[in-house]
Structure 1
């Protein structure tokens, strides 16, 4: 074998090995397994079909061209996110602190549309888009209520926030499972509430004391009226014969030293 033939053969072998290695690498990198609980989407990076295919990829192994395509996974299970707190103004200008927690999930089959609209994976959408939705929902509802109405209608206010957030997420391909607002009142409002509660309690205590005093006065009045009636009856019953009878019952039979002895019976001539 000539040197030239040996070189050509060696070059062929090297080329074959390189092609084999590249093929093996591409083979290992051009497929991805979509785990259970996730929904996969195939994204075209170039050409007239650039974007998201109409068909959502289900769980299983997905084959794709890594040079022109990408595969994304969207979780279908419920996710709970505790967002950073922020402040919102009520209708009358009071500042409230909100520390929201959101539990949601991607609606089955909606992941392609979500990615096509936002061009982001679920983590980035959760931290940016959904967070902005929450802030807007609270801002809109807070602007409808004064401070007193928020405090007096806390449950109604919370339900309105959750309903609005549920509608927003549903339109975007998400399902709202639960949301807590974590609203905390400004210190000045808390002090005012405490003062108001103290005043109410004081008023109730005074009212109770007044009721007790009125009951005692009524009791004394009833006793006084009863005593007066008894005295009146005794006065009416004290005639001359009754007085003589009482005197006889209490007289010890002795003649008084001074004065005349009482005459019990009138002398008859």
Structure 2
């Protein structure tokens, strides 16, 4: 009986050892494929060397132990994120709405450094950390300008934000490709701009109408002056002999049916 118990216990121990070996072999043989367009990083979960190894894993198949290690993938292609709109204040208190869109990529070889600092995957970093960076960049820049100076220097304002954001992302291991602010002016400013544009357009219409009226008036004056000169010339050229000649040229040679018969020769005195 005791021999049977000992055999059963031995089988259990052997089974446990075999199971442990099998699990170890299985764990040691786990792989992760890092696709093209991604960087893989190997993270140690335990021990004094806990953290990210100094070497970035290239694309391909990576062997790791899932009990003590973990593999993360960071995309290295350009990503475009359309963030939610938020409001910021200019130096004079006017409230602007910013609706930014950011195109960026992880700089090659910087995935381990980014993970060491944030301990998050790229999605979490994009949705939280980068969004906060954008908000801070716009708040800092808006505090430098009044409403009028923003409108008057829109291009300079936009370029300054993009430059500052690019420098900030570069320090964090990212590369800025493009950023659009989607700035919307306060309603009162928009209304004032629309009214100003309407006034300018109205003034242009009035000016054009005046030009047309002046042109038409000059045309009438020219016509009147030409007519007056023509009448003056006709008046100065008329004399009794000329009138008599024109009468003869236009007479049809017939005696008038009623009234006095035309006389061919009249006194010119």
Is the counterpart of residue 9 in structure 1 residue 19 in structure 2? Answer: no
- 1:221 shift after superposition: 1.9
Aligned to 1:246: 243
Aligned to 1:193: 193
SS in 1 for 2:63: strand
Aligned to 2:172: 172
Paired residues of 2:240 and 2:268 also in contact (CA < 8 A): no
Aligned to 1:70: 70
Aligned to 1:34: 33
Q: Map 1:122-137 onto structure 2 (within 5 A).
A: 122-137=122-137
Q: Map 1:6-155 onto structure 2 (within 5 A).
A: 6-30=4-28, 31-36=30-35, 37-59=37-59, 60-64=61-65, 66-67=67-68, 69-151=69-151, 154-155=154-155
**RMSD between superposed Cα atoms in Å:** 3.0
- 1:154 shift after superposition: 4.5
Structure 2, unaligned stretches of length 5 or more? 249-261
For residues 84 and 122 of structure 1, the distance between their equivalents in structure 2, rounded to whole angstroms, comes to 18
- 1:48 shift after superposition: 4.3
For residues 102 and 26 of structure 1, the distance between their equivalents in structure 2, rounded to whole angstroms, comes to 45
TM, length-normalised to structure 1: 0.79
Paired residues of 2:88 and 2:96 also in contact (CA < 8 A): yes
- 1:113 shift after superposition: 0.8
Alignment deviations for residues 94-129 of structure 1 (CA, whole Å, 9 cap, x no partner): 212222222322122111111122222222211221
- 1:200 shift after superposition: 1.6
For residues 96 and 189 of structure 1, the distance between their equivalents in structure 2, rounded to whole angstroms, comes to 10
| Count of matched residue pairs | 253
Q: Decide which moves more: 42-51 or 93-102.
A: 42-51
SS in 2 for 1:128: helix
Q: 1:83 to 1:248 in 2, by over 3 A?
A: closer
For residues 216 and 183 of structure 1, the distance between their equivalents in structure 2, rounded to whole angstroms, comes to 47
TM, length-normalised to structure 2: 0.79
- 1:237 shift after superposition: 3.9
For residues 89 and 45 of structure 2, the distance between their equivalents in structure 1, rounded to whole angstroms, comes to 44
Q: 1:43 to 1:183 in 2, by over 3 A?
A: same
Alignment deviations for residues 147-201 of structure 1 (CA, whole Å, 9 cap, x no partner): 3454455455444433332222222111223333333333323322222222121
Q: 1:248 to 1:76 in 2, by over 3 A?
A: closer
Alignment deviations for residues 180-232 of structure 1 (CA, whole Å, 9 cap, x no partner): 33333333233222222221211111111011011011112222322333344
Aligned to 2:253: none
For residues 24 and 124 of structure 2, the distance between their equivalents in structure 1, rounded to whole angstroms, comes to 28
